Structure 1
Amino acid sequence: MKALKQLAHFGWEQALSCLFPVVIFATLALTQIIPLPILPRYDWILIICILMQWWMVRSGLETRDELKVITLFHLIGLALEIFKVHMGSWSYPEEGYFKIFGVPLYSGFMYASVASFLCQAWRRLDVELVKWPPFLLVVPLATAIYLNFFTHHYWIDVRWWLAALVIIVFWQSWVTYEVNGTRYRMPIALSFVLIGFFIWVAENIATFFGAWQYPNQTNTWSLVHLGKVSSWLLLVIVSFLIVATLKRVKGKGSTG
């Protein structure tokens, strides 16, 4: 009974941490079902995302430091989107005034929402890091993972080599978190996999509601290839490493 109660509480805290992503998904669904006047759908999604971000900071759900990290993710994500759309990996077929090189500006918020989730969950679950690797290992690894999203179009795809490096670098690293006064721990590598999988589930929901479109979804929607989990896994690692570095710089981490 206690285990179920703890699991339910953990799930509730996770759900609260997903507030920003939930608003994005709800917006995608509602704007597809109910056409809004004056502006194209993509622009309404952008406006709602901006208002949601403003409200979260204004209400204290996010701090100004967290907003800086989330803004960084917005820019990182937007740069990746522009490149991937240019390479034909996916597309945004609908019209919109606020588009750069075929990419609507709201797309950056989908990446920012991942950072928002991490920041929220970190605070709600009182996350601490145990045996965190040195800064000189973490930063080059995160940089290499992000750059591989670009370079694999012109060179070999080294994602699996990078995944192996992640396992090696974080082999002794754990993340601890608190649920109802009881602390639990989990290997950091496992947390990466779990978050990456659930983002893949979210990606299927997003493409179903027309957030973006893969080439095989042009005529009709189909499930996103399971292989995309590896891409999201690596992106989650980049996200986690940036947020973790911020928390440690601010003195909120633990080396164990």
Structure 2
Amino acid sequence: MTDESRERPEHPRADLTRVEAALDAWAHRHLSAESGARGARRAGVEFLVFILKQAWACVFGALMLAALVATALWYPDGAALSRNDALVLIAVAIQVLMVALRLESGRELWVIVLFHLVGTVMELFKTAAGSWEYGGAGVLAIGAVPLYTGFMYAAVGSYMVRVFKLFDLRFVRYPPLWLTAVIGAAIYANFFTHHFLPDARWVLLVAVVLVWGRCIMLFRNHRERPARSLPILLPFLGVAFFIWIAENIGTAAGAWIYPHQAGGWEMVSLSKMVSWFLLMIISVVLVTLVYRPRPPGEPAPTGAAEQH
């Protein structure tokens, strides 16, 4: 751990939304109250704060997953409004409420728009190539792709932006942004070109390990305690695993199916983790276009919570 990682910010961050500032203040009070505690009690409070911050970071994706499952279980057959169109309206309503209630900042909205565009283009190509398909009718779609699919990609971007802020992420030896952009673009291109050319995913995986392998991520659960550190490839892998779990829930709810699921639902192969890991790299590159990775010594903005 570097000396800079031991710096202790004493004030709430200026880039937090109101809910995030309230969560940060709550965590600060409870963790400070346990500063003299030892053993299981202190570890329990630390773990609770970590889980609550992660839960808030996942709020967009969790609401989308809940909508997928709820409409699969209870949406009436033969309704005038198709399930796909209902999901589009639900997704739009979630997004509007997040912005209107200032649960999401303007910068986060830019990230979500980027993810919408990148995800929708990929969906159009992949469905045309037969990689997966969406069932059901609906008019709120582009070709065979319901418009709610863009929000599923946006949920990943929303999570990553919130994690950046809630855990005050800093990075040691973060690779040059131009290099990460080149690798991200190559990964994105390979999702298309592997249908016609040799699949380069394993070469790209090696490139990711070489470029990000020395990078250390510093995260802070308590704003007045030293940051913890871990190799950045570990959280990349962890997030890819949880996306794979969400993918299994989404396919079980019939939101989309892969060819091997046409005769009935089967678990998505663990090999799909490679795709999600590479998608994580694209996600990281997109987020860093809006939220530049900060080194340990750079102070976070302080002051009132972000209002827009």
Q: Which letter maps to 1:201?
A: I
Tell me the CA shift for residue 245 of structure 1.
3.2
Unaligned runs of 5+ in 2: 1-39, 298-308
Q: Name 1:19's counterpart in structure 2.
A: 59
Q: Which letter maps to 1:128?
A: R
Q: Name 2:133's counterpart in structure 1.
A: 91
After TM superposition, the score normalised by the length of structure 2 is 0.79
Partner residue of 1:189 out of 233, 244, 248: 233
Tell me the CA shift for residue 246 of structure 1.
1.7
CA distance in 2, matches of 1:85, 1:132: 35
Contact 1:131 1:255 in 2 (8 A): no
Q: Secondary structure at the residue paired with 1:216?
A: helix
Tell me the CA shift for residue 255 of structure 1.
6.4
Tell me the CA shift for residue 152 of structure 1.
0.5
Larger gyration radius, structure 1 or structure 2 = 2
CA distance in 2, matches of 1:241, 1:4: 34
Determine whether 1:55 maps to 2:97.
yes
Q: Which letter maps to 1:81?
A: E
Q: Secondary structure at the residue paired with 1:90?
A: coil
Partner residue of 2:121 out of 72, 79, 87: 79
Task: Compare the two structures and name the one with the higher helix fraction.
Answer: 1
Q: Which letter maps to 2:50?
A: F
CA distance in 1, matches of 2:104, 2:241: 25
After TM superposition, the score normalised by the length of structure 1 is 0.94
Determine whether 1:28 maps to 2:68.
yes
Q: Name 2:295's counterpart in structure 1.
A: 254
Percentage of matched positions with identical amino acids = 39
Q: Which letter maps to 2:131?
A: S
Q: Name 1:219's counterpart in structure 2.
A: 263
Q: Name 1:209's counterpart in structure 2.
A: 253
Partner residue of 2:208 out of 166, 169, 188: 166
Q: Which letter maps to 1:66?
A: E
Tell me the CA shift for residue 135 of structure 1.
2.0
Q: Name 1:235's counterpart in structure 2.
A: 279
CA distance in 2, matches of 1:53, 1:136: 31
Cα RMSD (Å): 1.4
46-55 or 31-40: bigger deviation = 31-40
CA distance in 2, matches of 1:124, 1:114: 15
Q: Secondary structure at the residue paired with 1:179?
A: coil
Tell me the CA shift for residue 102 of structure 1.
0.6
Greater relative contact order, per chain length (Cα 8 Å cut-off, separation 6+): 2
CA distance in 1, matches of 2:119, 2:134: 15
Give structure 1 regions of 4+ aligned residues with deviation exceeding 6 angstroms.
Answer: none
Q: Which letter maps to 2:57?
A: S
Unaligned runs of 5+ in 1: none
Determine whether 1:127 maps to 2:146.
no
Partner residue of 2:145 out of 97, 103, 110: 103
Contact 1:132 1:255 in 2 (8 A): no
Contact 2:114 2:286 in 1 (8 A): no
